[in-house]
Structure 1
Amino acid sequence: MKIKYYIYILLACYLATLLRLLIDDNLIISLVGSFFFGFIIRKRLNDLSKKILLTGFFSCFTSFTGFVFLLYEILHQGEWIKFIIFFNLIIITNLFIMICGFWISRKIT
């Protein structure tokens, strides 16, 4: 891959990180990111566009660490049941939203 492609991916990462800081809500970021991740997966884009969007933008935008930090705070408070519920709820909800994005993208195309 050419160096300019790495620069495009890096710029997508910077943009996603800036947008994440402006929104500052882990739930909204997670749901929006999951939806568009599923939407983009279904689209017939070239390999470079998928890498820029999926690896660069959405991986930095949704940032798994925001999800892990939320769970850490719940666990640190000693609320095991709340931790288990949130863990499963977040994963199931994001998977469902991603599938909806995939399905809607398929219907549009």
Structure 2
Amino acid sequence: DKAEPVVETTAEVPAVKEQAVAEAPDRATDSGSGEVNCTSACDHVLKVVKAEAAKEIENLPAEQKKMAADMMSKQMDGMKGACVEECKKDADPEKLKCALAAKTMADIEKCD
């Protein structure tokens, strides 16, 4: 008699949650009515963040520029998914429109 392997059911929960979030509709879905969706708002916010970070990186000494640019790139990769997930939890169409119109981080911060 061999013992049945113990199946860790909690290991499946994050995957199920991630799938549910990925399949959840944007609450502010672009339906042709001019509404902004979470994905486009997050894309824009990250573009602004990246542009401002790039300006800061330019002010660094040459030996630090590549390292800082690599770190920024790695951080940006994970930020979009987190941004969209957070947005879908509480999508406010007015905040999304505000974020999409923002040109700087200061503008984005005013949207909260």
User: TM-score of the superposition, structure 1-length normalised?
Assistant: 0.38
Structure with bigger RCO (C-alpha 8 Å, 6+ apart): 1
User: TM-score of the superposition, structure 2-length normalised?
Assistant: 0.37
Decide which structure has the larger Cα Rg and report it: 2
